Amino acid sequence: MITTAPRGTQDVLPQESYKWHFIEGKLMDLARRYGFSEVRTPTFEHTGLFDRGVGDTTDIVQKEMYTFTDKGGRSITLRPEGTAGVARCVLEHGLLNNPLPLKLSYLINCFRYEKPQAGRFREFRQFGAEVFGSQDPAVDAEVIALVADIFTTLGISDIALELNSIGCPHCRPAYHEKLRAYFAQHIDSLCPTCRERLEKNPLRILDCKNDSCKEVAKGAPLGIDNLCDECADHFASLKERLTAMGIPFTVNPQIVRGLDYYTKTVFEFVSTSIGAQGTVCGGGRYDGLLETLGGPSTPAIGFAVGLQRLLAVMEQDGASLGAPPACDIFLASIGQSASVEAQKLALRLRRAGLHAESDVQGRSLKAQMKYADKLGARYTVVLGDDEVKTGQIKLKRMDDGQVEETTLEALPALLCEK
């Protein structure tokens, strides 16, 4: 018998699932207020989409993808992130023909073959949002404001916005040359993957998790000192807008982000309360992605929040996660005809929107009441032959034992008011 889930995966147990509903409900509501519509794309895509869309020099593509050949001989990959699939969907369905900017959000499970540890799983959940069709820094500011609002709305204060700009195809080649020259001097300290990256994409070395590479990266020339005028203006305007909206940030020139397609703005929201994996949200502008995928040149920006990490921060900070759903009423019964009546009544109450339970185990009255207590039922009614005959019932409030006389007929309306 197989009794354990694969390493790096998690079960959300029934007594925990309300927390996920709470968080995801808040996220979707905030996204709606910011004008985002939900998009749902497949859990798996053609592997080539991620090779191109995420970038074949990234950790994700080089080390972390769940890739397999399906029975038709196609190479398929479980999505490691959401942006590439959404971008593919936008192009495939011509969504750029809608009024721009196009704002899309999603809630997805992602799959990465990583070393499982606190805050790092092989299957994890993300909330993400993407805006297509505007290169104005106002959009960068709006997207970042949405993320900041997410944390404020969820009652998280221990989180800091870190911001950087990594330039564009105009300023990056010269910067890459500087990086190449720098890392070439330290090639003996680089991991084998980064030695290969040196030629192809030296920026990636700045994002390597290897300790020795990290040490070398500390002394590397900074992207922010090497921006062209357009990128520098864009960054200045973004900072001005964030300041105007009262959204605090710090510039962290070390952030490059794990995906190859980023341009200009990159950002992370980092918490110090959940240990080493403190990055709860990562995002950035990716003006080159759609063209890379064969579409028209289209500026875009997006982010993704890791929901396991978000939940961990909320639990750590003691933020409200809603309450487990309570049972409104337990309908106890004595005898067969009362049991039938109780089940009928439960049906009426449920149709009225209440959580009602009746006995479906043939328990004794005493056992039924004990069960009602365990369920945490707010009210109980006991139905016997008399109650069925007269329709008169006694509604008992469980927390203080108060009893109210009413009728079977009036019960749904009465309870809905409570």
Position of minimal CB gap to ligand ATP: 306
Query: By CB neighbour count within 10 A (0-12 exposed, 13-18 middle, 19+ buried), where does 209 fall?
Result: exposed
CB 257 to ligand ATP: min, Å = 6
C-alpha–C-alpha distance, residues 116 and 331, integer Å: 46
CB 281 to ligand ATP: min, Å = 5
CB 227 to ligand ATP: min, Å = 22
Q: Which is nearer to ligand ATP, 50 or 183 (CB)?
A: 50
CB 59 to ligand ATP: min, Å = 7
Residues numbered 200-259 forming contacts with ligand ATP, rule: CB under 6 A: 258
Identity of the residue numbered 361: Q
368 scored as a contact of ligand ATP (CB under 6 A): no
Residues numbered 88-117 forming contacts with ligand ATP, rule: CB under 6 A: 112, 114
Q: Which is nearer to ligand ATP, 41 or 279 (CB)?
A: 279
Residues numbered 385-414 forming contacts with ligand ATP, rule: CB under 6 A: none
Q: Which of 57, 77, 81, 327 binds ligand ATP (CB under 6 A)?
A: 81
Residue 412 main-chain phi, psi, to 5 deg: -55, -50
Q: Which of 226, 308, 368, 380 binds ligand ATP (CB under 6 A)?
A: 308
SS3 211: helix
Nearest to 329 by CA among 306, 312, 353: 353
Q: Which is nearer to ligand ATP, 162 or 230 (CB)?
A: 162
User: In 136-250, which residue ranges form alpha helices assigned H by DSSP?
Assistant: 137-153, 172-185, 192-200, 211-217, 229-244
Q: Which is nearer to ligand ATP, 167 or 284 (CB)?
A: 284
ω into 248 cis (within 30 of 0): no
Classify strands 75-78 and 44-46 as parallel, antiparallel or unpaired.
Answer: antiparallel
Q: Which is nearer to ligand ATP, 55 or 119 (CB)?
A: 119
Helix (H), strand (E) at residue 296: none
CB 204 to ligand ATP: min, Å = 12
List the Cα angle 23/276/273 in 5-degree steps.
50
Nearest to 414 by CA among 400, 398, 396: 396
User: In 57-120, which residue ranges form alpha helices assigned H by DSSP?
Assistant: 59, 83-92
CB 108 to ligand ATP: min, Å = 11
Identity of the residue numbered 385: D
C-alpha–C-alpha distance, residues 80 and 83, integer Å: 10
Residues numbered 270-299 forming contacts with ligand ATP, rule: CB under 6 A: 277, 279-282
- Both structure tokens of 188: 């003996």
CB 229 to ligand ATP: min, Å = 28
Residues numbered 118-177 forming contacts with ligand ATP, rule: CB under 6 A: 119-121, 124, 126
Binders of ligand ATP: how many residues, by CB under 6 A? 18
Q: Which is nearer to ligand ATP, 154 or 304 (CB)?
A: 304
C-alpha R_g of the chain: 28
Positions that interact with ligand ATP (CB under 6 A): 81, 112, 114, 119-121, 124, 126, 258, 277, 279-282, 304, 306, 308-309
